[in-house]
C-alpha cells in the first residue's frame, strides 16, 4: 500500500496479552486532520468506544492508538480510566489534547486493560513511526484473524489525485449493526469532519453493515476515517459536491473491499457467500431477508456441507418476518434457477449447481416477488473450524 | 404413558422417505372432540399448516394424521392438493368431514409429498388402532431426534381426575416464534374449543416459545391440543374457571416438560442451558435478552467448550437492543456471581464454576439492573455434532 501524506505508522509488542507478536498500533496525523467514525450500537459498548463517541463531535484527530488482546469492555469505571490514561499519555508525547487521540481495543471482554504496558510502549512506538508500514500495522491489530487486511484506492477530487488507505481486523463476533470490527481509513484529502462523517455513515451502511459471520455484534466495533488535508484540491463543502463523486465511489468501494475481507476470514470460514435479495417491499426489507438467510445456522451448515439445500433458504425467508409471496418466490444458486413460483423447478440441471457449491465463492439470489426493494449482503459458511476456535478461545 | 379415554393411536411404515422405520402416525378421536392449535408464524408455512389454520376455527376434530420424512413445505398448489387428498381419504375411512382431520408433516422442505403412499397406508393404520401405543407414536414422528418424546400429567377438574398426554418431536430448526416443532397433546376432559385455545396459547408462550436450538423457525411448526370429552366433570365455561386452575397448571407443566425435552435433544446438543433474566424493563424485554443470549453462537460454543466465558454473555445482552444498565449488570453461572455492577467480581472462586460448566445442565442468571421484568428461556450448546448433522442432512 502506498504512503498517505501526513500519516505515520508504527507497531510494537507491548505484551498486553499475546507473546511474541506485535499488539499495539499507532497512527499519527498532522495538526488540522479531521475524523469521522461509526461505532457499535451495542448497549454494553467498551470503554474505547465510549471515549471515541465523546470526542468525535469535535472532529479533530492527531492520532489513533489501538491494542489487540484485550477489549477493555465491561470493565466499569476502572476500564474507562485505563483508556483515558493511555490517551493522555499519547497526547502528552505528541503535544496535543487528549480528545484528539482516538482509541480502539480488541480481544477478551471483561478483563481490565493493563494501561501501564500501553503507556510504557508509547516512546518506542513513536520512535518507530514511518509512512510505509501498513501491512505491519494490520498485523498488530489481529486477534483470531488468519491474515492481515487492507485496501487502497487511488481517486481524484476535481482533477487532483488523492489516495485512500484502510486497514481492518475482524473474524468472529461479526454482525451488522455498526460496524462489527475495527477499521481505520486514512486519506490525504482535505475534507471537513461533517462531510467525512456523512460519507462514512453512508458507506458503512452498504459495506460493514451488510456483513455477518455469526450474528454476534461486538462491544467494540469501530470504523474511523481520517483526512490529513495534505493534498491541495478544489475545496470540499458538502458530501453532495459533484467533484467529490469519484472520491465517494472510491471510498465505498474500499469499505466494501475491507468488509468482504473480513467475511472471507470469518472464523472457520471456507466459503464466501454473496446473497442478493430482490423483489422485496423495500431496500430495508430486502436487507432483513438477506440477513435472515445469512445468519441461519441451517443455511450456513448446508453451505459448509456443499449441499444446495434451498429449502432452508425458503425457511429463512419465512422467518425474517418481512413480506414475501410464498407462491412467487424464486431462488437461483450459482446463477441456476432451482425454485420458481413457490416450488422446485422440476428437472433443473443439478450438475452446475453441485459444481458451484464445491467452489469457494457461493452466490445465492432470491426474489421474493412483492416489490422492487433490493439488497446485497455477505456471509460465510458455518464449519467445524468455528466450533474449534470458539470452544477454546480463552484457554 | 396411560391411555386417554377416547384416543386411539397407530403408526405404520408408509415409506414416505425413510426405510425400515415407521413414518406415519394416526390418532383417532370420538365424535364431539374439540381442538386448539398454535402454528408457525413463518410466512413460508407448509401446506399442512395452512390446512390446520383453515380448519381450527371450527374447533372440531376426529383425527390427526402426521408423517415424517417430508415437510410438504414450499410445494405450491400441488403440495396443498396432496395434503387435502390425505385428509379426504382419512375422513372417508373414518366417516367424518375432511375439515375434522388435522395434518402435520415434518422432514425435507421443497419436495412434493407422495400422497398416494399415505392414502394407501390408511387402512393398515386404522386396523392397528390401540389406546396404548404412545411411545411407538412418538417414534413415528421423529426426524433427527435421537429419542422419542412424551409427557403425561394426572390432574383434576373440580374433584374429577383427568389425564393429559403429549408427544412431540423436534431437534433442529428450532426457534421460538410458535412452535418450532410438532407437538400433539390429548386430554380426556370435556373442554370447549375456545377455552382450549386460550389455555394452549398461554401455555405455549411460556414453554415452546421460550426454547431455541438454532434460531431457525420452521415452516411446519404445529402444536395441537385435543379434548375427547370422555370424562364427566363440572362443566367448563371459561379458561378463568376456578375449578380449571389445576388443569391449567398441569397443562403448562406438561408443555414445559415437552419443550425442554426438545432442547435436550437439540441437534448435536451435549448440554441443556437454562437462562434466567431478571431486572429488565418488562417481561417481553427480559425474553428478548434471554433469547439473544440463547441464540448467540459465541455463547453456545463457549458452553460446548465448557468455558465460563461471561464476556460473551455481556456481548449478547448488548446486542439484544433492550435496555440494560451496563454498570449494574450482574451475572451468575451455576449460582456463583462472576460479574456484578458492570465488572468482573474480583477473585471469585472459579472452582465451582468450572465444575458446573463440565456438567450436563448449565444455569445462567443475568440481572440487567433496570426494572422488574423477568423471563426464563432454554437452549443447548452448539457443537461439532450440529455441523455434522446439518452439513449432510439430505445426503
Tens of pLDDT, residue by residue over B299-331, are 999 999 999 888 889 888 988 888 888 889 999
If asked whether residues B301 and B230 sit together in one domain, one would say no
With beta carbons less than 8 A apart as the criterion, state whether B144 and B172 touch: yes
A180 noted as active-site residue: yes
Instruction: Say if the Cβ atoms of B43 and A172 lie within 8 Å.
Output: no
Tens of pLDDT, residue by residue over A183-242, are 889 999 999 999 999 999 999 888 888 887 776 667 777 888 999 999 999 999 999 999
How many Cβ atoms sit within 10 Å of the Cβ of residue B347? 6
Instruction: Name the phi and psi angles at B328, rounded to 5.
Output: -120, -5
How far is residue A317 from each of residues A106, A335, A385, B202, B267, measured CA to CA in Å?
Answer: 33, 19, 27, 27, 22
**More confident position, B210 or A285:** A285
Question: Model confidence at A174, in pLDDT bands (50, 70, 90)?
Answer: low
Domain's final residue, options B264, B291, B324:
B264
3-state secondary structure chain B: CCCCCCCEEEEECCCCCCCCCCCEEEEECCCCCEEEEEECCCCCCCHHHHHHHHHHCCCECCEEEEEEEECCCCCHHHHHHHHHHHHHHHHHHHCCCHHHEEEEEEEECCCCCCHHHHHHHHHHHHHCCECCCHHHHHHHCCCCCCCCEEEEEEEEECCEEEEEEEEEECCCCCCCCCCCCEEEEEECCCCCHHHHHHHHHHHHHCCHHHECCCCCCCCCCEEEEEECCCCCCCCCCCCCCHHHHHHHHHHHHHHHHHHHHHHHCCCCCCCEEEEEEEEECCHHHHHHHHHHHHCCHHHHHHHHCCCCCHHHHHHHHHHCCCCCCCCCCEEEECCEEEEECCEECCCCCHHHHHHHHHCCEEEEEEECCCCCEEEEEEEECCCHHHHHHHCCCCC
Do the strands A63-70 and A330-333 form a parallel or antiparallel pair, or are they unpaired? unpaired
Question: Model confidence at B170, in pLDDT bands (50, 70, 90)?
Answer: confident
Asked, for residue B221, whether it belongs to a domain, the answer is yes
Give the orientation angle of helix A283-295 with respect to helix A310-319, to 10 degrees. Answer: 130
For Cα atoms A308, A311, A316, give the angle at the middle one, nearest 5 degrees.
Answer: 110
If asked whether residues B183 and B327 sit together in one domain, one would say no
If asked whether residues A229 and A376 sit together in one domain, one would say no
If asked whether residues A236 and A318 sit together in one domain, one would say no
Tens of pLDDT, residue by residue over B34-77, are 999 888 877 778 899 999 999 999 999 999 999 998 989 888 88
Q: What pLDDT, on the 0 to 100 scale, is given for residue B35?
A: 93
Asked, for residue B1, whether it belongs to a domain, the answer is no
Q: Which chain B residue's Cα is nearest to A176? A: B319
Catalytic pick among B40, B75, B144, B180: B180
Closest CB to A319 among B217, B296, B390: B217
Q: What is the ipTM of this complex?
A: 0.77
Asked, for residue B326, whether it belongs to a domain, the answer is yes
Q: Which chain A residues are within 8 Å of B319, Cβ to Cβ?
A: 42, 175, 177, 216-217
**More confident position, A46 or B179:** A46
Residue B175 confidence (pLDDT) above 80: no
Lowest mean pLDDT among A115-119, A182-186, B11-15: A182-186
**How is residue A114 written as a grid cell?**
493493563
| Residues of the binding site of B for substrate | 143, 169, 180, 267, 390, 395
Closest CB to A177 among B111, B218, B319: B319
Tens of pLDDT, residue by residue over B339-393, are 998 888 888 888 999 999 999 999 999 999 999 999 999 999 999 888 888 886 4
Q: What pLDDT, on the 0 to 100 scale, is given for residue A179?
A: 30
Residue B171 confidence (pLDDT) above 80: no
State the nearest Cα–Cα gap between A377 and chain B, in angstroms.
Answer: 19
If asked whether residues B280 and B194 sit together in one domain, one would say no
If asked whether residues A242 and A289 sit together in one domain, one would say no
Q: What pLDDT, on the 0 to 100 scale, is given for residue A178?
A: 29
Instruction: Say if the Cβ atoms of B311 and A79 lie within 8 Å.
Output: no
Nearest Cα residue to B223 out of B376, B49, B96 = B49
Which residues, listed in sequence order, are joined to residue B69 by a DSSP beta bridge?
B107
Number of cross-chain residue pairs from A and B with Cβ atoms under 8 Å apart: 219
* SS3 assignment, position A88: helix
Q: Which chain B residues are within 8 Å of A174, Cβ to Cβ?
A: none
Q: Which chain A residue's Cα is nearest to B300? A: A391
Domain's final residue, options A202, A237, A264:
A264
Q: How far apart are CA B110 and CA B93, in angstroms?
A: 29
Instruction: Say if the Cβ atoms of B393 and A307 lie within 8 Å.
Output: yes
Domain's final residue, options B264, B298, B319:
B264
Q: How far apart are CA A257 and CA B275, in angstroms?
A: 39
Mean pLDDT of A319-327: 85
Length of chain B: 395
Tens of pLDDT, residue by residue over B107-131, are 888 888 999 999 999 999 999 999 8
If asked whether residues B14 and B163 sit together in one domain, one would say yes
Mean pLDDT, all residues of chain B: 89
Asked, for residue A1, whether it belongs to a domain, the answer is no
Percent residues over pLDDT 70 in chain A: 96
Asked, for residue B185, whether it belongs to a domain, the answer is yes
* SS3 assignment, position A133: coil
Tens of pLDDT, residue by residue over B134-147, are 999 999 998 878 88
Lowest mean pLDDT among A84-98, A167-181, A263-277, A349-363: A167-181
CA atoms within 13 A on the CB side of B252: 14
Closest CB to A298 among B110, B318, B390: B390
Asked, for residue B162, whether it belongs to a domain, the answer is yes
Closest CB to A217 among B110, B302, B319: B319
How far is residue A18 from each of residues A66, A394, B333, measured CA to CA in Å?
Answer: 14, 12, 27
If asked whether residues A251 and A283 sit together in one domain, one would say no
Q: What pLDDT, on the 0 to 100 scale, is given for residue A176?
A: 39
CATH number at residue B351: 3.10.20.340
Q: How far apart are CA A48 and CA A70, in angstroms?
A: 11
CATH number at residue A156: 3.60.70.12
Percent residues over pLDDT 70 in chain B: 96
If asked whether residues B198 and B90 sit together in one domain, one would say yes
Residue A92 structural domain: 8-264
Asked, for residue A2, whether it belongs to a domain, the answer is no
Question: Model confidence at A44, in pLDDT bands (50, 70, 90)?
Answer: confident
Longest dimension (CA), chain B: 71
Q: Which chain A residues are within 8 Å of B212, Cβ to Cβ?
A: none
Asked, for residue A165, whether it belongs to a domain, the answer is yes
Tens of pLDDT, residue by residue over A347-382, are 888 899 999 999 999 999 999 999 999 999 999 999
Q: What pLDDT, on the 0 to 100 scale, is given for residue B318?
A: 85
State the nearest Cα–Cα gap between B388 and chain A, in angstroms.
Answer: 8
If asked whether residues A75 and A117 sit together in one domain, one would say yes
Q: Could you give the number of structural domains in chain A? A: 2
If asked whether residues A187 and A286 sit together in one domain, one would say no
Instruction: Say if the Cβ atoms of A301 and B71 lie within 8 Å.
Output: no
| Residues of the binding site of A | 143, 169, 180, 267, 390, 395
If asked whether residues B259 and B148 sit together in one domain, one would say yes
Q: How far apart are CA A291 and CA B295, in angstroms?
A: 15
Q: Which chain A residues are within 8 Å of B347, Cβ to Cβ?
A: none
For Cα atoms B335, B341, B344, give the angle at the middle one, nearest 5 degrees.
Answer: 65
Closest CB to A310 among B45, B110, B304: B110
State the nearest Cα–Cα gap between B24 and chain A, in angstroms.
Answer: 22
Q: Which chain B residues are within 8 Å of A79, Cβ to Cβ?
A: 343
**Best mutation site among A110, A213, A350, A370 for testing chain B: the one with the most B CBs within 10 Å?**
A110
Amino acid at each position: 500500500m502506498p504512503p498517505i501524506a501526513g500519516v505515520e505508522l508504527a507497531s510494537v509488542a507491548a505484551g498486553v496479552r499475546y507473546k511474541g507478536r506485535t499488539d499495539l498500533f499507532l497512527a499519527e496525523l498532522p495538526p488540522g486532520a479531521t475524523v469521522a467514525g461509526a461505532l457499535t450500537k451495542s448497549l454494553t459498548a467498551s470503554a474505547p468506544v465510549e471515549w471515541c463517541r465523546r470526542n468525535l463531535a469535535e472532529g479533530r484527530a492527531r492520532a489513533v492508538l489501538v491494542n489487540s488482546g484485550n477489549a477493555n469492555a465491561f470493565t466499569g469505571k476502572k476500564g474507562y480510566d485505563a483508556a483515558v490514561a493511555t490517551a493522555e499519555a499519547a497526547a502528552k508525547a505528541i503535544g496535543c489534547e487528549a480528545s484528539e487521540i482516538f482509541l480502539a481495543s480488541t480481544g477478551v471482554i471483561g478483563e481490565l486493560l493493563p494501561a501501564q504496558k500501553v503507556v510504557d510502549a508509547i516512546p518506542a512506538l513513536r520512535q518507530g513511526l514511518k509512512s510505509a508500514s501498513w501491512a505491519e500495522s494490520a498485523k498488530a491489530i489481529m486477534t483470531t484473524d488468519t491474515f492481515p487486511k487492507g485496501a487502497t484506492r487511488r481517486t481524484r477530487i476535481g482533477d487532483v489525485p488523492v489516495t485512500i488507505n484502510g486497514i481492518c481486523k475482524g473474524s468472529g463476533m461479526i454482525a451488522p449493526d455498526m460496524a462489527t470490527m475495527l477499521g481505520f481509513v486514512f486519506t490525504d484529502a482535505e475534507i471537513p469532519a461533517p462531510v467525512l462523517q456523512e460519507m462514512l455513515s453512508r458507506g458503512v451502511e452498504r459495506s460493514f453493515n451488510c456483513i455477518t459471520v455469526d450474528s454476534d455484534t461486538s462491544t467494540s466495533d469501530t470504523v474511523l476515517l481520517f483526512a490529513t488535508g495534505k493534498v491541495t484540491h478544489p475545496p470540499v463543502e458538502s458530501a453532495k459536491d459533484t467533484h467529490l463523486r469519484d472520491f465517494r465511489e472510491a471510498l465505498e468501494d474500499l469499505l466494501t473491499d475491507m468488509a468482504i475481507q473480513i467475511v472471507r476470514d470469518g472464523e472457520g470460514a471456507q466459503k464466501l457467500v454473496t446473497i442478493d435479495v430482490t423483489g422485496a417491499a423495500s431496500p430495508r426489507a430486502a436487507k432483513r431477508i438477506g440477513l435472515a438467510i445469512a445468519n441461519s445456522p441451517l443455511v450456513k451448515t448446508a453451505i459448509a456441507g456443499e449441499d444446495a439445500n434451498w429449502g432452508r433458504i425458503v425457511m429463512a425467508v419465512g422467518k425474517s418476518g418481512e413480506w414475501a409471496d410464498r407462491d412467487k418466490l424464486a431462488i437461483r444458486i450459482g446463477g441456476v434457477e432451482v425454485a420458481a413460483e413457490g416450488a422446485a423447478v422440476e428437472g433443473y440441471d443439478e450438475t452446475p449447481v453441485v459444481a458451484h457449491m464445491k467452489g469457494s465463492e457461493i452466490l445465492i439470489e432470491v426474489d421474493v416477488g412483492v416489490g422492487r426493494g433490493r439488497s446485497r449482503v455477505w456471509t460465510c459458511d458455518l464449519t467445524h473450524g468455528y466450533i474449534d476456535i470458539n470452544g477454546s478461545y480463552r484457554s
